[in-house]
Structure 1
Amino acid sequence: MVSAPSTPQSAKQQWFSNDIAILCYFGLFKLLLHFCTNQQYGYFGDELYYMAAGEHLDWGFAEGPPLTPAIANFSRWMLGDSLFAIRLFPAIAGACTVILTGLIARDLGGGRFAQVIAALAVILAPGYLFLQTVLTMNAFEPLLWALCAYLTIHILKTERISLWSIAGVVTGIGLMNKFSIFFFIVSLVLGILITPARRLLFNRWIIIGSILAISICTPTILWQINHHWPFLEHQRESSLYEKKGLLQSAIDLILQQIILTNPGAVPLWGCGLYYYLFTRSGKPYRALGWSYIIILGWFLLFEGRFYYLLPIYPMLLAAGAVFLERRLQHYPAWKYTTLIALIASGLVLLPIALPILPIKSLIRYSNTIYRPPTLSKFAQENSAQAPWHFRLMLGWEDTVAQVAQAYQKLLPRDRAECAILAWSYGNAGAIDFFGPAYHLPKAISGHTGYYFWGPRDYSGNVVLSLGGNLTFLRQTFNSVETVAIVTHEKIVGLRSTLPIYLCKGIKRPLSESWPAFKYYFKQPTTNLITTDNLS
């Protein structure tokens, strides 16, 4: 008896059963997760700064390259100023990171279970959930690092050394986003050099890739050189005034990897590291395991912040998923146990990663479950406040409204020449963004990138200073008086006060004394320009 020929699957059926299609669905889920949650609370302080930086586009900024300000500018041009518009591209980057992690697992030989669990681990990682909610440089790092890792794995697997040219382009784009990708690339190269795969490095394609990377990032390097390397100055001040010391930084760095990647995913990426370093099937990719060890050592030595390592985990999660799939292929119960543990721990930490709870509930939840540490060694946590990363989404417009009240009380002739001086880029960005609705002029500030945009055309004869050191202000102006105190009594989860000073009669024109206002982390307490002039 002749059996009937099988009916070919339709194109639609083939798509639904395709591994890449399934990964796309997971990426879409990640995208929708952000779309449904990222319009809560308010603008993040860094977002306000990057929107202001987008209005002053240049090849570089004090704290880094220009890609994120350019994205902020493009988002506003394309979709407007809404939270959805500003946070669209971080969400897309998050979705692409999910898909790419699954593809890494696939390239390592992982089946559908490995691809799914790797993608799910990225979706549920608290660090990625928050970083890809808001528009900062950190939102795009996991995608760019994962893409470099994917290309490296594919080169090690297929020996298609021409792909080094594409890796060079990705590296160049990464350097235009954030300079920290340099550490990852160097660690990868060192990892390859200490393994037999070193033979894949010495060829014309690696030279072409290097030339492409350098060519792409040359404009921002030249900007840094022409401005006397403000990025290095920024990092030096960070080490002096904000980092917590070698031991505490090391403890934070190590412990926060457990939280930020999801405690349920720690065995997964731990197995990934083991897979790269010790297994026979992972031997061709041993360089990636060494790259993690090398970059971890660097960040421990240089007191890197606890989120600096986050972009490297997609390649570890993918490898760990492949390792577990093979080890558990005859133990389906353990497969589902691993999956349930991953999902359960991710859901527990979800309110700390995404802005989904009312502020009062968030404060209670964070005090009970987990309160993330602040970045600064000087910041004091307060259990009555929201966690620091959500606190930076609160109160910006309220601050601007109170500044506007003080501004409107000025005499008309004073208001006509009044400059609003903000002593943090967050407050300056808030005034620039919300100020037009309150009839406020653009702010000036000596903080980070704002310093390089100068004092605009203000004389400095009348200045409303939002905060600032009183000694510095009295050395700079003939008259300094407190005219208001910014408070946030009606905003749950935010407790802060900030004086507003009315400063008159600048002792030296603002254009001449502007260098004295420059700072990155510690506000100036002495105006050396004015005091030197008086002496």
Structure 2
Amino acid sequence: MGAERGDRPGAAVVPVVGVAAVVAGVLSVLSGRYGFHRDELYFMVAGEHPAWGYVDQPPLTPMAARAAVAVFGSSPAGLRVVATLACAATVVVAAAVARELDGGRRAQVIAAVCTAVSGFVLGVGHMVSTATFDLLLSLVICLLVLRLLRTGDGRWWIAVGAAVGLGLENKDLVALLVVVLLAAVLAVGPRGVLRSRWLLAGVAIALAVAAPNIWWQARHGWPQLTVADGISADDGTENRLMFVPQQIVYLSPVFVPIWIAGWRRLWRDPALRWARAMAVAYPVLAALVLVTGGKGYYALPLLIVLMAAGSESVAGWSRRSLAAVIGVTVVVSAAISLPVLPPSALSVVNAVNQEQGEQIGWPALVAAVADGWSRIPADERDRAVIFTQNYGEAGAIARYGPRHGLPAPYSGHMAFADWGPPPDSADGPVLLVRQDGQDKREDGAFTACRQVARVDNGQDVDNEEQHATILLCSGTTAPWSKLWPSLRHSY
């Protein structure tokens, strides 16, 4: 066990908490604008089907959504309380990382502010997503690993293990971060922490916390690996092409000099030699994400660590320079990541951040479905089924359908496939919701389909559901139980 490397600067508790409170307040004020995101609609339904795992994710995010709805209500503002709190916590942890890396009070505040106004951080803080909690938990893991490396106290492996286990209950991606951090420490040290007897205890705790989801995945044939392979196959080329631009814009283009300065400081500063592993970890993780075709934000937690390290390097900048850099970021990040514009003005923003547009038009979609449902004769509706192509459409119908008298929807997409199929006794008409331009894998399953409605979100927002078609089919070509395997899909 090594000796602690010097005393850290004092903590800027009041201003950092103040920054976190401001960002939480802004997110709270804006959380009710627009509407639910497709993933949020899915998470709320998943939360009503509690399990230790789902085909596309571990249980933490759906359970957080369920808790938020139970406590704060099923409105967008109520659901998003947990995302707001996670974002505020992320800001505080980023400041703590800066302090761990010998950043003074001014540097800690800079790290907090830069994190708080970063486009991606605001985006995942605005709405509930797996990335919301993954970003927070991954940053906590980085903070704890830094504490371990700085102090040499192997007992920190216990806390690291607990954080890793909790992170794995939210997203398997945490395992990649852990592998990269271990490899970086092995490469550049301090290697003494890897010889600590507490390491095995930390591994045991991580496995114990993650065990329920691991057990669920093993029982169901590791479906999350299949989903990950499908994402890589479908989007891998685009992800590789966009990786470098995304690294530049996810935080802010004007923050690039800060995180480059942070990398140089971690690599060159003799006083931070114990933290050099973080300088190695980011490029290694970036290379792995590129090779596997993963999404650019997978590397973001380590990029925030670099930015926090660079905050001390820019702490000497004038107030005017810092204000200009942060002011530009605030304007751009707010427009791209937050619901500050009228929905009708989202065309340009939607081209940069499609998640903005995916919060528009779900009630209109359900109204179109209700229009189609009204075309089914009343005496046939008890045997009719609403079937959707994706979980967003199904989640929207589950949320808004009851006010239109619609039954629960079915879908073969992701976990919805595990909650179906309809009973074979549902041998009447099928109302099919089909995304515009999507492949027509269902054509062989349904008979005599005709378009009876079309979705218009009324804001001219070109999202995935705009101009979706509602088809009324006379029935199925076989019982649902026989059709279901061919209707399941994870992309």
The normalised TM-score by structure 2 is 0.93
Which residue in 1 is equivalent to 2:132? 139
Of 284, 295, 314 in structure 2, the residue corresponding to residue 305 of structure 1 is 295
Q: Match of 2:325? A: 341
Structure 1 gap segments, 5+ residues each: 1-16, 373-386, 522-535
- Matching residue of 1:185: 178
1:390 aligns with 2:356: yes
> How far apart in 2 are the matches of 1:40 and 1:252?
29
What SS does the corresponding residue of 2:314 show, helix, strand or coil?
helix
- Superposed CA deviations along residues 85-136 of structure 1, whole A, max 9, x for unmatched, are 1111111011011111111112222111101110010011001111111111
Give yes or no for the alignment of 1:476 onto 2:418.
no
1:65-104 CA-to-partner distances (Å, cap 9, x unmatched) read: 0100001111111111011111111110110111111111
Whole-Å Cα distance in 2 between the matches of residues 346 and 61 of structure 1?
Answer: 36
In structure 1, the residue matched to 2:485 is 515
User: Structure 1 residue 488 and structure 2 residue 481: aligned?
Assistant: no
* Structure 1 residue 21, shift from structure 2 partner: 2.0
Residue number among 342, 365, 378 corresponding to 1:412 in the alignment:
378
Match of 1:250 among 217, 232, 240: 240
**Counterpart residue type for residue 475 of structure 1:** G
1:351 to 330, 335, 341: 335
Partners of 1:252 and 1:471 lie apart in 2 by 29
1:101 matches 2:94? yes
Segment of structure 1 superposing worse, 87-96 or 409-418: 409-418
Question: How many angstroms apart in 1 are the aligned matches of 2:161 and 2:115?
Answer: 25
CA gap of 1:25–1:472, structure 2 versus 1, over 3 A, is: closer
Q: Which amino acid aligns with 1:281?
A: A
Q: 1:348 to 1:514 in 2, by over 3 A?
A: closer
Task: Measure the CA separation in 2 of the matches of 1:137 and 1:472.
Answer: 28
Distance 1:520 1:470 in 2: 14
The whole-number CA distance in structure 2 between the counterparts of 1:147 and 1:413 is 57
Q: Which moved further from structure 2: 307-316 or 25-34?
A: 307-316
Among 405, 408, 411, the residue aligned to 1:439: 405
In the alignment of these two chains, the number of paired residues is: 477
Residue 233 (1) aligns with residue 231 (2): no
Which amino acid is the alignment partner of residue 479 of structure 2? Answer: P
Distance 1:240 1:105 in 2: 37
Distance across 1 between alignment mates of 2:439 and 2:248:
43
Tell me: CA distance 1:483–1:348, structure 2 relative to 1, closer, same or farther (3 Å).
closer
**498-507 or 182-191, which deviates more:** 498-507
Of the three residues 28, 49, 61, the one matched with 2:42 is 49
Structure 1 residues 59-74: aligned runs within 5 Å: 59-74=52-67
Instruction: Give the aligned residue type for 1:358.
Output: P
Q: Distance in 2 between matches of 1:430 and 1:25?
A: 36
Tell me which stretches of 4 or more aligned residues in structure 1 moved more than 6 Å. 468-471
Relative to structure 1, is the Cα distance of residues 45 and 149 closer, same or farther in structure 2, using a 3 angstrom cutoff? Answer: same
Paired-residue identity, %: 28
The residue correspondences of 1:186-205 to structure 2 (distance < 5 A) are 186-205=179-198
Deviation digits for residues 424-480 of structure 1, max 9, x if unmatched? 110000011111111111111101111111214353412211128897545324x32
1:340-360 per-position Cα deviation (integer Å, ceiling 9, x unaligned): 223323323321111111123
Out of 348-357 and 49-58, give the one that drifted further. 348-357
Alignment map for 1:118-133 (pairs within 5 Å): 118-133=111-126
Tell whether 2:434 aligns with 1:467. Answer: yes
- 1:363 maps to 347
SS in 2 for 1:194: helix
| Aligned match of 2:396 | 430
2:240 corresponds to which letter in structure 1? A
CA distance in 1 between counterparts of 2:335 and 2:113 reads: 17
> CA offsets per residue over residues 153-181 of structure 1, 9 Å max, x none?
11111222101101100000000111111
CA gap 1:407/1:324 in 2 versus in 1, 3 angstroms: same
Query: How far off is 1:307 after superposition?
Result: 2.1
Q: Shift of residue 240 of structure 1?
A: 2.5
1:222 aligns with 2:215: yes
Identify the residue that residue 455 of structure 1 maps to in structure 2.
421
Aligned partner of 2:118: which letter? Answer: A
Q: Contact 1:137/1:178 (CA < 8 Å) preserved in 2?
A: yes
Larger Rg: 1
| Correspondence for 2:7 | none
> How well do the aligned residues superpose, as a CA RMSD in angstroms?
2.0
Report the TM-score, using the length of structure 1 for normalisation.
0.85
Q: Partners of 2:204 and 2:124 in 1: how far apart?
A: 31
